[in-house]
Amino acid sequence: MRQIITYDTTLRDGSQGEGIAYSLMDKIRIAEKLDELGVAFIEGGWPGSNPKDAQFFAKMAKKNLNRSVIVAFGSTRRPDIAASKDRNLQELIASKAKVVTIFGKSWLYHVKDVLRTTPEENLKMIGDSVSFLKANGVTVFYDAEHFFDGYKDNPAYALECLVTAQEAGANCLILCDTNGGTLPGQISAIVRELKTKLRVRLGIHCHNDAGVAVASSIAAVEAGCDMVQGTMNGYGERCGNADLIPIIANLQLKLGMRCIPPENLKKLSAASYFVSEISNVRHMSNQPYVGDSAFAHKGGVHINAVMKATDSYEHIQPEAVGNKRRILLSELGGKSSILLMAKDMNLDLTKDDPKTRKAHALLQSLEMKGYHFEAAEASFELILKRALSGVKEFFSLQNFRVVVNKEKNRKVTTEAIIKIKVNDKIEHTAADGDGPVNALDTALRKALEAFYPSLKEMRLSDYKVRVLDDKPGTAARVRVLVQSQDGRNSWNTIGVSENIIEASWQALLDSIEYKLLKDGEKKRPLYRHSGKHNLDRTR
């Protein structure tokens, strides 16, 4: 089986997409998810361009990833300066990344009119930069920017740029369709020509401006490229980058090549949803392989055929990529995810168990309301335990009130007043905060810390809001994602409501209950099984 090297650039190229901005914690979480998926290389960013990327490399240097290698990105040295004196190259070395990717010009048009240097100096910049990095003990990948445009314009010079990087010691030469306008057939033909003229590995990096980035990437691999670069969900500047999700699925399922461990293919859907949530971008329902609609069937003819033979209207089994079949008229979904989660929680369930059916109905009801649990695994676990085995009650809410006060020429102030019952004792407290959610979080934990001291080590580390349907305007339903951590672990919870405070409360409540549940501080039952499904998560 031919091995293809997967290289993800979501944290750098993907972050350049309109509307996407990753915090330091976002970048770390995405990197960990990509490592779990089995991506070979993760481009973490440009350490010489901003403090956040420098912090990312410092943090990741202390983490032990299982499969992935973190890559630092930068450019060749500037014109007319020694490589050892170039600040960008110095920052790449200082990042302590074992692998560095640098880009350089391959198109004479860019060399002369954008870089404003000579063709000879550009070649020296490429060679000097690669040699300097190799001398400092790092693996070097060379991104030949605008390569295909450059090759079509002047094939001899574009090839000379690659040869220069090769002779300087580059470990892989990545051919970039930076403007995204080259068609798959053209890319395939050029890659085949280059394979006869170069001795090091070739990679492909495509943008999607012509809508063919995935097809071009696959064509390049079939023509001889051993590395394929892309971003999760195709995020990136302008029309985006090649989407690594269908690239991996197509190469592995259709062409028999190995991109990630075979057992990890079923994680593709979860990874795709996870990155979309962290990116605060609505997941595309029609995204190939992993979208909600990828295996959805509507209409009598299709449904009738699929119920008899699934491959009559499906090119693969949806479970192969972690997705599921959806029958839109009758909404008959599978229970495999519930059974798998129950097994992880040591709950003995079978497909025909009435508890499984109740849990399945509960999750379907919540999904209809806008809940999505791929990036909120703690809420998912709590909901299943409430439905299947019961969860102990740690406290009960009596009421809360949030007051936002704004006076002319003065800063907005926020206060949360909360009343809860713990062990039949009423706690009534208040706290100020930087906004309603922070005030609620502070007041709730202030009331509980005397009973549950471990909450002192817990803090809210991230908060995201997504409008689920923009048609009602300010009355639209929103989804709130909260990330919490306690110094050892981090976990994610979710809330959905037309009221942003209510949705935030649900997520905060789940976050605290999950912490207490994991700490083993259990009091009395909160939910028990009955004939009804308790969908009220506000309590």
Tokens of 189: 């033909």
Out of 129-143, 329-343, 451-465, 517-531, pick the least confident: 517-531
More confident call, 539 vs 393: 393
Q: Give me the architecture of the 295-333 domain, per CATH.
A: Irregular (4.10)
pLDDT at 130: 98
Q: According to the model, what pLDDT value does residue 362 have? A: 80
Q: 211-246, pLDDT tens digit by residue?
A: 999 999 999 999 999 999 999 999 999 999 999 999
Q: Is the pLDDT of residue 536 over 70?
A: no
Non-local CB neighbours of 450 within 8 Å, separated by 6+ positions: 427
> Is pLDDT at 158 greater than 90 in this prediction?
yes
Report residue 523's pLDDT band, with 50, 70 and 90 as the boundaries.
Answer: very low
With beta carbons less than 8 A apart as the criterion, state whether 482 and 508 touch: yes
- % pLDDT > 70, the chain: 90
Mean pLDDT to the nearest integer, 67-90? 96
Given a contact cutoff of 8 angstroms between Cβ atoms, the answer to whether 173 and 200 are in contact is: yes
Fold of 395-451: Double Stranded RNA Binding Domain (3.30.160)
Q: Where are the alpha helices (DSSP H) in 282-403?
A: 300-308, 336-344, 354-369, 377-388
Helix axis angle for 24-37 and 51-60, nearest 10°, is: 40
User: What is the arithmetic mean of pLDDT over 387-412?
Assistant: 84
Q: Give, in degrees to the nearest 5, the angle at Cα 335 between 30 and 333.
A: 90
- For 144-176, b where at least 16 C-beta lie within 10 A, e where not — what string? bbbbbbbbeeeeebbbbbbbbbbebbbbbbbbb
- With a CB cutoff of 8 Å and minimum separation 6, the contacts of 538 are 397, 502, 505, 506, 509
For residue 384, name the pLDDT band (cuts at 50, 70, 90).
confident
69 confidence band (pLDDT: 50, 70, 90): very high
Whole-angstrom distance, CA of residue 248 vs CA of residue 259: 6
Q: Which residue has the higher pLDDT, 475 or 41?
A: 41
Mean pLDDT, to the nearest integer, of 494-523? 86
Q: Which pLDDT value is given to residue 2?
A: 96
Residue with more model confidence, 48 or 325: 325
Residue the block writes with tokens 């470990």: 171
Which fold, 5-278?
A: TIM Barrel (3.20.20)
Q: How many CB atoms lie within 10 A of CB 74?
A: 27
pTM here is: 0.70
The per-residue pLDDT for range 275-317, each reduced to its tens digit, is: 999 998 988 889 999 998 898 876 657 666 776 788 888 899 9
Whether residue 473 has pLDDT greater than 90: no
Domains in the chain: boundaries:
5-278, 295-333, 334-393+458-539, 395-451
Chain Cα centroid distance, residue 433: 30
What's the confidence (pLDDT) of residue 300? 55
State mean pLDDT over 463-491. 80
Q: pLDDT exceeding 90 applies to what percent of the chain?
A: 62
Stretch 447-451: mean pLDDT? 90
SS3 42: strand
Overall fold of domain 334-393+458-539: Double Stranded RNA Binding Domain (3.30.160)
**Sequence-ordered list of residues with C-beta below 8 angstroms from that of 356, at least 6 positions apart, any chain:** 335, 338, 339, 342, 349, 350
**pLDDT at position 486:** 85
**pLDDT at position 308:** 75
Is 395-451 in the same CATH topology as 334-393+458-539?
yes
Q: With bands split at pLDDT 50, 70 and 90, how would you rate the model's confidence at 525?
A: very low
pLDDT level of residue 351 (50, 70, 90 thresholds): confident
DSSP 8-state symbol, 531: S
C-alpha atoms less than 13 angstroms from C-alpha of 19 in its C-beta half-sphere: 12
Scored b (16 or more CB within 10 A) or e, 334-348 reads ebebbbebbeeeebe
Q: What is the pLDDT of residue 350?
A: 76
Q: Which residue has the higher pLDDT, 374 or 88?
A: 88
